[in-house]
Amino acid sequence: MSLTVLDPHSALIVIDLQKGVAALPLAHPVTEVTGNAARLAEGFRAHKLPVILVRATGMAPGRTERSFSRSDAPRPPADAADLVPELNQQDSDYELVKQTWGAFMNPELDRLLRELAVTQVVVIGIATSFGVESTARQAYEHGYHVTLATDAMTDFSVEAHEGSVTRIFPSLGETGTTEEILALLEQTSATA
């Protein structure tokens, strides 16, 4: 891990921690991921920093070899896009909806971050190699400092998760644990 700094104007971006996604077979226990996500959200809220909750309500329309929207696939439950209750959504949180892997495809995210003078984003959620990685790539391309809490995310396979964490994330930003990020949050708050 190489986490060095957390900007005073940071935001937490939570990707697809919603009931339908959390119910899928995952590489890591979802209770650990949602627990760490909830701790990070509480930490950011306590320091009056933005918490942005992103939900997927559809998919991009392009054709792929691995179809996520086959006509013979079972219909998701009505509450599949609802956020997991562990996040304890607050009125101060921002909520965005997306239909693609990366959250920045909704132009509202960049507009909101710029309006809030955010310079760094901490990205967490499910799935590491899909929504989390895509959002981190887009954040980096938009000029934000990127931090990824590797214990507050998971994927559909250990290999996919580890591939993103070890091969991709070091080129996009810094990685750390929930504990390390919360400690830097305290440090940043004390010196601000």
> CA-based angle 51:83:115, to the nearest 5?
25
Identify the residue with better confidence: 43 or 64.
43
The mean per-residue pLDDT over the stretch 20-33 comes to: 91
- The answer to whether the beta carbons of residues 8 and 192 sit under 8 Å apart is yes
CA-based nearest residue to 94, from 79, 110, 75: 110
Task: Let me know if 107 is exposed, middle or buried by CB neighbors in 10 A (0-12, 13-18, 19+).
Answer: exposed
Read off the pLDDT of each residue in 87-95 and give the average, rounded to a whole number: 96
Task: Enumerate residues 6+ apart whose C-beta is below 8 A from 73.
Answer: 67
Is there a contact between 91 and 151 (Cβ–Cβ < 8 Å)?
no
Q: Is residue 68 scored above 80 in pLDDT?
A: no
Mean pLDDT of the 166-179 span: 96
pLDDT digits (tens, 9 = 90+) for 105-114: 999 999 999 9
pLDDT given at position 119: 97
What pLDDT band is residue 80 in, cutting at 50, 70 and 90?
A: confident
pTM comes to 0.91
Average pLDDT, integer, range 25-35: 94
Structure confidence at residue 78 (pLDDT): 80
State yes or no: pLDDT of 61 exceeds 80: no
How many CB atoms are closer than 10 A to CB 65? 4
How high is the pLDDT of residue 74? 56
Q: What percent of the chain has pLDDT over 70?
A: 89
- For residue 150, the model assigns a pLDDT of 96
Q: How far, in whole angstroms, is CA 136 from its chain's centroid?
A: 8
What is the average pLDDT score of the chain?
90
